[in-house]
Amino acid sequence: MKKLSNKVSLEFFIFVLSVLIVVVIAFSLSLSHSARDEYTRYLEIKKQNVYKWFAELRNEYKQLYEVYIETGIVDDDIDLLIELEGDGRVNIVKNLIGVGFDEIASLVQSGSKVVLLNSEPVYLMVFETPNKQAIIGSIFDGELIGSLSKYLGEDATVFISYNDHYIVPQEFIQTGIYVRSVIQQSKEATSRPFVVSQPRGILSIFGWGQVYLTDSVDIAGVKVFVLQSETLLVQLVNRLIPIMFLIVVGVVFFSLVFSWSLNRYISTALDSILSGFTSIRDGSFERVKFKSNDELGKISMELNKTMEFIEMTLEKLRKSNELLRKATAEARQASRMKSEFLANMSHEMRTPMNAILGFTELLLSEETNEEKRKHLVTIYRSGEHLLSLINDVLDLSKIESGKMQIYEEIYSPRNLLKELVETYLPMAYSKGLHLAYSLDNNVPEYVVGDAFRIKQILTNLVSNGIKFTSQGYITIQANYKEGKITYIVNDTGIGIPEEKLDKIFEPFTQLDRTMSRKYGGMGLGLAITKKLVDLMNGKLYIESHIGKGTKVVVSLPTKLPSKEEIEKVINKKEDTNKVVLIAGKDKNFFENIASLLSRYNIKHRTTLNISMLPLLCKEAKYMLVIVDLDRISENDLSILDTVKKSETPVVLVAKDARENIEGFEVLTRPISEKKLIEIISRYLKEDLYPVHEFSSKEILVVEDNKANQVLIKKMLEKVGFKVDVAGNGKEALEKIKEKTYSLIIMDMQMPVMDGYTATRKIREKGLKVPVIALTAHTLRGDEAKSLEAGCDGYLGKPVKQKELIDAIVYFLRIQEELETTRFEPVQTPDQKTGKAEEKIGEPPKNPRNDIEKRIQELSTNMGLTLEEAREMFEEYENYLRESIMQLKELSLKEDFEAIDREGHSLKGSGKMYSVVEVSEIGVKLQNAAKAKKKDKILQLISELEKLIDQIWGSDQNS
């Protein structure tokens, strides 16, 4: 039986044979290494012989000099002999080298060594006798070095290097080794001695050339290179190489034969097995036909069994998939129904809440009985609490269903925290808690993020802090580092047990059952907070200690806006510091002042806690504080001195002007509405008008819910508006045909025709009437959807009376401003007789005829002399022509956002300079830029050019 293990044994045999080859090679190398060590010792002996040869050479020349002294005969081997007498005389006996007298002194100083004289290397020796010194020199030529080479023996050779001069004997030349090659290798060698070999031909693959172990000796001022031949080592290697080569060839051939046989067998088996896997992939499940008793055969058998199992499983899967498809379809249907249910529940639950809260608010404004007012306040607060719970459930459902979206916008962290603290200050002070916020210097003034959701996160954390803290403080800190803004909320509350920190983020979870009864809530706040932080790719960390408090850290990735984006936000930013704080202890005083401020659409807040007045003025920047002085006790008078140091102006209301209250403006009772409004106008720096100035305006309320129809109608009629009601969009369009309305309140979810469709049809007819969207849906995208349909504003249900009136007054004032500043054309005689028509807003036929009137209006409006006004009017022409150039450049770039800003600038400047036609073109430019209509923009630029030429061109040419 042919087992796979036999094949492995064969491979093992090949492996053993290979190891044997390695051992032979290792033995050869070891032998070679031992031989080299022996040659190294020979080389050291040769180096010692070099020193010995130089010593003998010196002795030989000394003997020749002694012979000269005795006989007076100079030997032929001496090329230079100079004697220096004790009295300073110099006797040149023999000078074959041509040494001059001026060189003799330096030769004496150089001592015994090889020097270069007249381009000849000369071995100089200085001998001392009792009466004189002798300098003997011999030319160091190849013949002399040849004697050194012979002195060292036949297995060695030498050459001498001296100042880039080389003395090479014949024996070295015969080796075929280059002197410079030896010098180069000597410099590069990392150890001594080093190996130098004869150059070999390309075809000399079965043997080595002559190899020399090389080292150098420094003596007599020269470097003597000694080359020790390794003849025996070379012979050994040359014999081993052919043997090793034959062994390797034999083993490779032997391995190839057996490898081919093994490969053929395994390839056949694997091809068969792979064909089985291929049949599984294409679903044919053809069985593997390869049979064998070894491991590959067993694999084939198991694969066939696996195919049978897969076929059975696939059949079961086909049946399961059919059931799964049905279940998936049902799940998708359920998901769609859930989404629709969420939208409908949002609408259906908020619609009755709108009626409950709205009518309660109306009743509160009319009820004078104190006990009934308490009941109404309880109903109102309970309704707001229920609305908050509905919002939490809907938010959680939207997040879990994936419907929650994050909208990035530019916001100010400072303003966000300021508004948050202002909102929760009364709640905190009512419990005697300190609530404050701080920002590190590194926090940018503006960042990009979802301000609405971030405020929701911090609101949950702050409200929890106030709820679970009985004494101490709640603080909010913000810092910015490496593209992340971090908000830290600290409180000194009851704390959370460590083992329950993970559970508090689960929906409908509180620490224990008593928490819900004691503190209220459903346990959704932190669950929503955690999910919102995750949705923003942020991190939430909580640290708490029982009885000491809790620290929550929210870190969110944040982008920074560009300078252009920041400027755009600043330009659009509304003044939020237009709130009046009413302080006192008399509810009638609150109601009277609040009623008066509401008539003028002035935002206001109230506080009964006079002692907290300095802190309130410090924490929140109020435009003005009105204090009921008559109800303040004598002990509280000292508080006014602290308030006096605040930057917030304070007006005191008293029965009579008190002389001892210095530094405050005092209003005496009965309060003069005119006087109070004058004071507020002065601090607000703008004129104020009562809301009832719009009482003649007619408003159309489009709402399908009868309760809401009655509620909104009552709210508006109470203020003085005339109100008509339509049950759906179709009825609204019919009423618009019959009557002109100043403003429309449009519910967006209605039967027959919804508010989106009705608003689009209104805009298609060219009507400019303001439309305020009113919807119970709370998804963030609904606002954008309403504005895209043509609405001017957006309010969510349940809407409060003040919010509704504020919105209506805001848009009515804008509409009135546009109408009053619209240019009224001068009538020609034909127009007076009705022979011709001219559209409102078109420039007069000859604007030049009206230029003096415009300058007069500019002078009157701006408080200038006629000359100053005329100069400014002419400068305005330059500004307009520069604007035209800028607009042309922007239109080429199709920078519609910048064109919108330029149009806004023209709209404002035209009114100021009494050229209302420019304002109208500015408005049209804004509309065209928002619609991205380049052709319309170019047409308006051309109209602006013509208008400028008509007004200023003729003046310049006259």
Mean pLDDT on 781-796: 80
Q: Pick the more confident residue, 568 or 549.
A: 549
pLDDT at 823: 39
Model pLDDT for residues 48-74, shown as the tens digit of each residue: 998 899 888 889 888 888 888 888 888
Report the C-alpha gap between 269 and 271 in whole angstroms. Answer: 6
Q: Does residue 825 carry a pLDDT above 50?
A: no
6: tokens are 């036999």
Mean pLDDT on 710-719: 80
Please give the backbone phi and psi of residue 727, each rounded to the nearest 5 degrees, phi first. -85, -15
* Residues β-bridged to residue 557: 484
Report the C-alpha gap between 899 and 924 in whole angstroms. Answer: 11
Burial class for 394, CB neighbours closer than 10 Å (0-12, 13-18, 19+)? buried
Q: Does residue 735 carry a pLDDT above 70?
A: yes
Report the C-alpha gap between 804 and 745 in whole angstroms. Answer: 9
Which pLDDT band, with edges at 50, 70 and 90, does 553 fall under?
Answer: very high
* Residues β-bridged to residue 957: none
Q: Pick the more confident residue, 720 or 32.
A: 720
851: tokens are 């230029």
107-121, 295-309, 394-408: range with lowest mean pLDDT: 394-408
Report the C-alpha gap between 201 and 420 in whole angstroms. Answer: 93
Please calculate the CA angle 603-606-609 and round it to the nearest 5 degrees: 155
Model pLDDT for residues 464-482, shown as the tens digit of each residue: 888 889 888 899 999 999 8
**Mean pLDDT across the chain:** 77
User: Looking at residue 391, what DSSP letter applies?
Assistant: H
Helices and strands (H, E) in the chain, number of each type? 29, 27
Model pLDDT for residues 100-126, shown as the tens digit of each residue: 887 887 887 777 888 888 878 888 888
Closest CA to 143 of 168, 164, 173, 176: 168
Which pLDDT band, with edges at 50, 70 and 90, does 771 fall under?
Answer: very high
Mean pLDDT on 690-705: 77
Closest CA to 121 of 137, 107, 136: 137
pLDDT at 554: 94
107-111, 274-278, 517-521, 796-800: range with lowest mean pLDDT: 517-521
Q: Pick the more confident residue, 496 or 658.
A: 496
Q: Pick the more confident residue, 656 or 47.
A: 47
Which pLDDT band, with edges at 50, 70 and 90, does 661 fall under?
Answer: low
Which pLDDT band, with edges at 50, 70 and 90, does 303 fall under?
Answer: confident
Q: Which uninterrupted H or E stretch holds 723? A: strand 722-726
Which pLDDT band, with edges at 50, 70 and 90, does 508 fall under?
Answer: low
Model pLDDT for residues 330-370, shown as the tens digit of each residue: 877 776 666 556 556 655 676 677 678 777 877 776 676 77
Q: Pick the more confident residue, 272 or 618.
A: 272
Q: Pick the more confident residue, 391 or 319.
A: 319
Domains of the chain and any CATH numbers:
409-558 (3.30.565.10), 579-684 (3.40.50.2300), 691-820 (3.40.50.2300), 832-957 (1.20.120.160)
To which residue do tokens 């020609």 refer? 828
pLDDT at 479: 93
What is the full DSSP assignment across 649-715? Answer: -EEEEESS--TT-TTSEEEESSPPHHHHHHHHHHHHTS----GGGGTT-EEEEE-S-HHHHHHHHHH
pLDDT at 109: 79
Please give the backbone phi and psi of residue 407, each rounded to the nearest 5 degrees, phi first. -110, 120
615-629, 722-736, 794-808: range with lowest mean pLDDT: 615-629
To which residue do tokens 């087992």 refer? 3
Report the C-alpha gap between 867 and 848 in whole angstroms. Answer: 18
pLDDT at 564: 82
390-399, 712-721, 768-777, 870-879: range with lowest mean pLDDT: 390-399
Q: Pick the more confident residue, 255 or 315.
A: 315
Q: Does residue 730 carry a pLDDT above 70?
A: yes
Task: Confirm if 626 and 616 have CB atoms less than 8 A apart.
Answer: no
Per DSSP, the three-state class of 857 is helix
Burial class for 668, CB neighbours closer than 10 Å (0-12, 13-18, 19+)? middle
Mean pLDDT on 723-738: 94
Question: If you average pLDDT over each of 337-346, 492-501, 610-619, which comes out highest?
Answer: 492-501
pLDDT at 454: 92
Task: Confirm if 719 and 691 have CB atoms less than 8 A apart.
Answer: yes
- pTM recorded for the entire structure: 0.39
Closest CA to 121 of 78, 178, 77, 167: 167
643: tokens are 């308030």
Residue 213 CA from chain centroid, whole number: 67
Mean pLDDT on 871-878: 78
Handedness of CA 901, 907, 912, 913 (dihedral sign): positive
Q: Pick the more confident residue, 37 or 628.
A: 628
Report the C-alpha gap between 193 and 44 in whole angstroms. Answer: 9
